[in-house]
Amino acid sequence: MGKKPLNREQIQQIRILVKGKPLHELLLNLSVDLMLRSSDLRNLKVSDVMNPSGTVKESVSVKQIKTGKRTLSMPILENSRLAIAEHLSDKSQDEFVFEGRKSNYTKQPISGQQYGRIVKGWMKELGLEDVSEFSTHSMRKSKATAIYEETHDVDAVRRLLGQSSVTATSAYLGVTDNSALELAKSINL
């Protein structure tokens, strides 16, 4: 079934843990809101989330590295808006949103490995002993799973994730025949 998504409570707890840590606040909030793959998220530039005037954009659409297709124009919600305004207002439009400590020298965003270590670190801070079930992919999956659990609309989630088939999205979300049958049992006409 792949990596586990984070639930609402875990996300709220991590928000408290990362307060005042610019890289972590931006990673947490934008990864949850935008549901992007690690490579697409890490390559965001300030110009993707902020207007030249310094205001935060309403939404973000990026060309996906894996597929070459553009994502839907995903809304930037309040937690992300606040983190962007607080931490990126003094950055130039061509800088990466997720700069690591070495970015001054490399002019590159954080690596996928560094992002993965950050996610696992968050889970350890929450008290989980086995963090192997969590990764950067958990962040992409978190909001998608919450949307599916609330709506049971696999096609909407497919569109939000930019996936090409409902079958792939069903597998991604862990929708099994048993969970589909449970839904059928819960609706009585």
Tens-place pLDDT, residues 36-50: 999 999 999 999 999
- 3-state SS, residue 26: helix
Residue 171: what residue type? Answer: A
Residues near 37 by beta carbon (within 8 Å), at least 6 away in sequence: 64, 65, 66, 137, 140
Q: Is the pLDDT of residue 1 over 60?
A: no
- Element at 161 (helix H, strand E): helix 154-161
Per-residue pLDDT, 104: 66
The residue whose two tokens read 């809101």 is 33
Per-residue pLDDT, 187: 77
pTM of the model: 0.91
Average pLDDT over residues 122-127: 97
- 3-state SS, residue 55: coil
Phi and psi angles of residue 15, each rounded to the nearest 5 degrees, phi first: -55, -40
Q: State the pLDDT confidence band at 185, using cuts at 50, 70 and 90.
A: confident
Domain ranges of the chain: 8-125
Least confident segment among 54-63, 108-117, 173-182: 173-182
CB 94 within 8 A of CB 49: no
Average pLDDT over residues 53-66: 96
Work out the widest C-alpha separation in the chain, in whole angstroms: 64
CB 120 within 8 A of CB 131: yes
